[in-house]
Every structure is written in C-alpha cells, then in structure tokens.
Chains A and B, each alone.
Chain A
Amino acid sequence: MSLYTKDITLSADSPKELLLEKHVEFITKYGKSEDDYEFGMTDYLRISGMYWGLTALELVDKLQTLPQAEVVLFIKKCQDEDTGGISACINHDPHLLHTLSAVQILCTYDQLDKINTDRVVDYVVSLQQPDGSFTELLLEKHVEFITKYGKSEDDYEFGMTDYLRISGMYWGLTALELVDKLQTLPQAEVVLFIKKCQDEDTGGISACINHDPHLLHTLSAVQILCTYDQLDKINTDRVVDYVVSLQQPDGSFTGDKWGEVDTRFSFCAVATLALLNRLDAIDVEKAVAFVESCKNFDGGFGSRPLSESHAGLIYCCLGFLSITNRLDIVNREALAWWLCERQLPSGGLNGRPEKLPDVCYSWWVLSSLTILGRLHWINASALKSFILACQDVETGGFSDRPGDIPDPYHTLFGLAALSLLGSNCIKPVNPTFCMPQHVIDRLKIKYQLL
C-alpha cells in the first residue's frame, strides 16, 4: 500500500506564524491585477477563485477591501441562460463547482436576489444521475471532440497517426453511435476509404491507403461496416481468405504475414469471422487450444504461452472464448477475483498489479467481469467518478488519467465502460465485441456470457 501514501516533508525554514496582513494584501492584489499572467491564465476558475479570496478576507474581517458591486455584477453575467448554471467566467461553460461558489459569495454578501435562483435550482436538478450521483457527463463536448478529430486532416495529431487510421475511425465512430450521433460523420466517405484500404493481393485491410494490411485494422474495418450495415461494400470472401491465411499450425494467429503471434490476433480473427458469419473457415478447436495454453497461474491470460496476465489480453481471450462458446475453460473464481483486485482507492482500474489506473482498463476489466457475470464485484460508483474525472472539460474527450491529453481511443473506452455500468444517455454496448448491442442483435451474432 506504500504506493498510495506518497507525501511531502516540511522544511525547517517554513513560516511558523500566521502572516495575516500579508494575506490580505496578497488577496486584494490578486483580484485587481487583471493584466497579471497568473490571473489571466486562470479565468477558467475565476468564480471559485473569488469565493476563496472573498471568504478568506471575510474571515479576517477585511471583506470591504473588495468591490462588492463589481463582484455581484460579474456573477450575474456568468449565469448561463440556457441551463441556469453558473460558469467560471463570462463565455465559459456552466459547472456545478462554480455554481456553488457563486451562491456562497452571494449569501455572504446577502445578494441572492441578484441572480435567478429558480434557474440555479433547475440546473442542479438536471445534473442528478440515475444512481443518485451528481457528476456531469459532458456528452455534447465529447461529440464535438470526436467529430472535430475526424475532420481535421491538417491537425498535427491526426496527420501523425495515419498508421492507425482505420482503428481510429472505429473508436470515434463507435463512440458517436453509443451517444446516438453517428450521423455527424460522412458515412459514404468512410466506407469508400475502407474500400480503398482493402489489399488486392491478400484481401486484408490496412490502416490507411498505401500501408500494409493487418488483422487489427481488418477487424476495425469490419466492425465499422457492420455498424453502418454496409458489409457488401467490400469483398468479404477475400477478408475471410486473409484471416484464414494467418492461422498457424499450433492454432495461433499472426497479425500479418511477418509472424508476430499474440492472443490479440486470436481475438481479432474470430471476431472478424463471427461478424462475417464465417467462423467455420478456421480450425476453431486448435485456436481454442492455443488460447488455453496462454492461461496463467492467476487465472488470467497473456499474449503468448507463459506470458504474464494483463487486463487487455484477458479481455481478448475472454472475448475469444465468448465468441467460440468455450468459456468453460476459464477458472472463473480466480480470474474474477484477480480482476476485481484491479480497482484502486481512486476508483480507477489498473491493468496489472501495482500499476497506475487508466480509463482504457475500465473497459478491459469491466467487459471481462461482465463476460464472467461478476460486474458487481467492483464498486461501480467509485469507478464512474474516476472515469468522469478523466473528461477534458475544455475540449471534450477522455484521457487515460485526470489532467492528461484526451484522445478518441480513451473516449470510446470511457463511454463504453459507462455504458456497461448503466447510463440512460449512452446506448448499451456489447461486452464481447465492443460494438453497440443493437448492431450485434441486428446481425444475430452469437456470443456466450456466464
């Protein structure tokens, strides 16, 4: 547990008395210095900042040093017309944190009548979630984040990542469909792009035009086309040929013709074939035997025989066994225990013992627990708070941990995990395929859950 008790030490020359005068000076100066760099840079927390400063001054009986009328007028301007909530600063979005700070300030000044308090009440009421909690899911921002990401061909991040373009499309597109905003993407363009990425020689699909075909992108492409109900736009027989060509004598699959073996590819192979209703094309029995040979002492699975268990690979292997209807080979109790031990005091889940939590593991661990019928072995509301804390309130999107840069990958897995936890604004996701449940139902795809 030493991991979670990081702390600091106080140095000998730290101040030992309370420097009241200095503090008053500090706060009154801070509020006035509009051209100050620090001040200019922190408008995203202005109202809360006012509350801190103002309350500190009142506690030492120096409230009169601040211009009350100005403060009240500023708060009034920060009340959002649409929602009734109050933002950190004019033109910023309303947030519960700043709404409380504003109300606290107005109570201190006895000026509550200067804003529309009924609308504040409406705002707070609108934020309560079905489970009673009050954390906000910034749905609209996430939609904006994903649609912008897809459009920005000249964006640095986008331009540098063409080697994972098709998988990126799958992440973004599935995230949008889960929040019922798929129509914001140009379907015909996406389908045409995929068509162009199918390799003539092998039948496999590449990440991007002129790149080499690979099983990872082949699955992503098939997933996208299933969601769009456009499978007839590519040559699916050739896709089946490609997958079949990658099975090895021991039942394993390589990711492409260059020989890298990994249980991720076993999952990609059977998921692709199941979506095309052609699971019969490979030797399923041998494929199962290989995955079984990757089972470890802790009940988990690794990338190859004897490789250490890892939540991402456990998801791949459980997904594989769910599709091939062979969950009977799983050591359910031991594995579900290992998985529920991934939850950390922050509420987040890690992928291996003693590692940091990460939003994408919310998906790998949660979908695995769902397949095992043990979703209730972790604390859902703590996990939900962790995932929501990983939202970027400025741009939308989710990052791996609070405060990091968001990306479409973590945005999909954040939303998908919230869907498994139960949400009335996200569509149900299928734990085996990580696709909208209604798509799996429409295609009548079989999968096993315990």
Chain B
Amino acid sequence: MHGRLKVRTTEEQQLLKRKEQQKKLIAYRMGMKQILDSRKPVNPDIYTLWNYRKEVALLEINSNINIEETEKLSNFLENELKLTEQCLLANPKSYSSWHHRYWILEHNPEANWKKEFDLCTKYLTMDDRNFHCWDFRRLVLNKVGITLGDEIKFSTDRININFSNYSSWHYRSTLKALTEECVEDELTIVKSALFTDPADSSAWFYLRWILSDPIVNTEHKEDLLDNLNQLLEIEPDCRWILIAKCWLIQDLHADKSNYVKEQIDCYRKLEEIDLLRKGHYSDKLNKLLSAN
C-alpha cells in the first residue's frame, strides 16, 4: 500500500465506512465468484484473472488460426489491449498488466509494434521514470527494428529536456560501448549536466561509470579535475564535487603526497558536511591514512 494518506475518522464515520465497505466486499466476493467462473479482471494485481484471460485468448487464437476471416480474432486481441491500457492508466506500475499486454501482442501475428513503440515514447514524455515502460520499450524495440543511432538520439533528447532524469542516463549507458570517437562527446554531455546543476545526483553516477573505462585517458582526467576545481570555487559545499575530485586524484596522483593531503582534506570536509554518509568517508580516510 503506497502513498495512501491516512485520514482520521470518528467512530460514526468509521461505522458508516465499514457498512459501505461490507457492501462492497459482498459485491466483490460475488463478483469474484462469477469471475472465477466466467473470467474478467477488476484489480489488475489479481494475477489469476489475467491467467484466465490468457487461457481464453489461447482458445480464441487456436480456434481462429485456420479461418480466412481474421477480423473476429483481431477484435478480440484489440479488446485485451484496451483493457490493459485502462488498468495501466489506473496503476502504471502493475507488473501483471504490462506482462499481459506484451503477451497479447506476441500472440498476435498482426500486432502493430510500431504503434506500440510510439505509445511508449509518448508515455515516457509524461512519466520518464516509469521503469516498467522503459523495459517494455526495450522489448518492443527489438520487434520494430529501431537503429542504435535513433535510440542514442532519443536518449540525448531526453537528457537535454531533463538533466536530472536518472532513467535516461541509465538508458544511455546501455546503448553503446565507449570508443575513441565518442568519448569526447560523452564527457561533454555529462559535464554540461554537472555544471548546470552540480547538486543533482544523476549525472555524477554516470560520470563515475565513464571514469572507470580505460578509454578515458590521463589528459581527459586532468582536464576534468581542473573543471571541478573551478566549479568548487562557485559551490564550495557541494559534496558531489568533492567526491568526484577524490576519484580523480586517486586515479591520477595516488603517489604524490601533496595530492594525497588534498584528498584527505576533501574526505574530512565530507565527514563534516554529509553526516548521513560519515561512515563511508571514514572508511576512505582510514584507508588513505594507513597507506601513507
């Protein structure tokens, strides 16, 4: 039960509500019994009802498969799609509804995957953090034959619309391996996000990932360290900048005592300004102090 605000009620209201609920419950139980005999979802999470629908769909498909006239079957399958759409509008996180939708499409020899793909794109512009929809899009993508180039453009557009969209950064990470040709571009896009709002976490996770790739060379890292020092002058208390500085120093200058001291200073400052993660910074500090 998520995000259901509790409203305090008097006993009388509670009694009334209980009566209402009892009526609903009796109706639900009767309906449930009817459904269990005849089949039709009410609550999208009642997985057994979706199973019944799939059983019925299989019967329809098998009995229509050799018939020339396909209209009856396609109407039936279209209805199933409509139903999942209604359920997803009510609960966009319903695992069962998403799965049923994909299952129906897969069992429809004439499924319109392109239309489905466009629907996903449209939905993501309304809620770009729904990971069910991202996952669904990935499944549909394979069916439509969208090119990697198209998807990289889609991800760049999503990031340009909203830098702080972690889902878009994640998606970007799945699209390509870093190469000599694209590494500059990736650094540019992540830097422009960091400089736009250094307090936003999303791009920092992406940065950490890029930095772990050997294709990012010393020169790139030196450059970035300079950039971060500049940014730190404007935002001296931004913990993300301090954390990223430490990664870079560790990579570039772990053997130089003046840099090690700078790293130690960063972690000491982090211990002070970010009490929630003090244990994390203390571990780092102790490691540095015992090694030097």
Contact B170 A154 (CB under 8 A): no
How many residues does chain B have at the interface if contact means C-beta atoms less than 8 Å apart? 56
CA distance A411 to B16 in the complex (A): 27
Q: Tell me how far the C-beta of B222 lies from the nearest C-beta in chain A, rounded to whole angstroms.
A: 23
Taking CB as reference atom, which chain A residue is nearest B32? Answer: A162
Contact B206 A297 (CB under 8 A): yes
Q: Tell me how far the C-beta of B183 lies from the nearest C-beta in chain A, rounded to whole angstroms.
A: 15
CA distance A392 to B134 in the complex (A): 35
CA distance A307 to B174 in the complex (A): 9
Stretch with Cβ within 8 A of A (4 or more), from B3-11, B65-73, B81-89: B3-11
Q: Mark A238-267, 1 if CB is under 8 A from B, else 0.
A: 000000000000000000101110100000
Contact A378 B135 (CB under 8 A): no
On whether A403 and B6 interact (CB within 8 A), knowing A296-B170, A354-B164, the answer reads yes
Contact B131 A307 (CB under 8 A): yes
CA distance A341 to B243 in the complex (A): 12
CA distance A409 to B1 in the complex (A): 8
Identify A341's interface contact among B6, B134, B201, CB under 8 A. B201
How many residues does chain A have at the interface if contact means C-beta atoms less than 8 Å apart? 65
Chain B CB within 8 A of A214 CB: yes
Chain A CB within 8 A of B155 CB: no
Chain B CB within 8 A of A379 CB: yes
Chain A residues positioned under 8 Å from B25 (CB to CB): 154, 156, 159-160
Chain A residues positioned under 8 Å from B123 (CB to CB): none
Q: Mark A268-293, 1 if CB is under 8 A from B, else 0.
A: 00000000000000000000000000
Contact B283 A377 (CB under 8 A): yes
- Residues of A334-358 at the interface with B, using a CB-CB cut-off of 8 Å, are 334, 336-338, 340-341, 343, 345, 347, 352-355, 358
CA distance A40 to B45 in the complex (A): 39
CA distance A345 to B275 in the complex (A): 10
- Please count the residue pairs between chain A and chain B whose beta carbons lie under 8 angstroms apart in the complex: 155
Chain B residues positioned under 8 Å from A198 (CB to CB): none
Chain A CB within 8 A of B2 CB: yes
Contact B5 A404 (CB under 8 A): yes
Identify A379's interface contact among B3, B10, B18, B275, CB under 8 A. B275
Majority secondary structure, A binding face: loop
Chain A CB within 8 A of B108 CB: no
- Residues of B253-292 at the interface with A, using a CB-CB cut-off of 8 Å, are 275-280, 283
Chain B CB within 8 A of A446 CB: no
Q: Tell me how far the C-beta of B264 lies from the nearest C-beta in chain A, rounded to whole angstroms.
A: 19
Chain A CB within 8 A of B166 CB: yes
Contact A377 B280 (CB under 8 A): yes
CA distance A334 to B173 in the complex (A): 15
Chain A residues positioned under 8 Å from B28 (CB to CB): 159-160
Contact B99 A298 (CB under 8 A): no
Chain B residues positioned under 8 Å from A401 (CB to CB): 3
Contact A260 B279 (CB under 8 A): no
Chain B residues positioned under 8 Å from A353 (CB to CB): 166, 201-202, 205
Q: Mark B43-80, 1 if CB is under 8 A from A, else 0.
A: 10111101100100000000000000000000000000
Chain A residues positioned under 8 Å from B206 (CB to CB): 297
- Residues of B115-167 at the interface with A, using a CB-CB cut-off of 8 Å, are 129, 131, 134-135, 138, 164, 166-167
23 A-B pairs whose Cβ atoms sit less than 8 Å apart in the complex: A154-B22, A159-B25, A159-B28, A160-B28, A163-B48, A262-B95, A303-B131, A306-B174, A307-B135, A337-B208, A340-B276, A341-B201, A347-B276, A352-B129, A352-B131, A355-B129, A374-B280, A403-B5, A404-B2, A404-B3, A405-B5, A405-B6, A407-B1
Q: A336-B280, A400-B1 are in contact. List 8 more A-B contacts (CB 8 A).
A: A159-B29, A163-B48, A256-B51, A297-B170, A304-B135, A377-B277, A377-B283, A404-B1
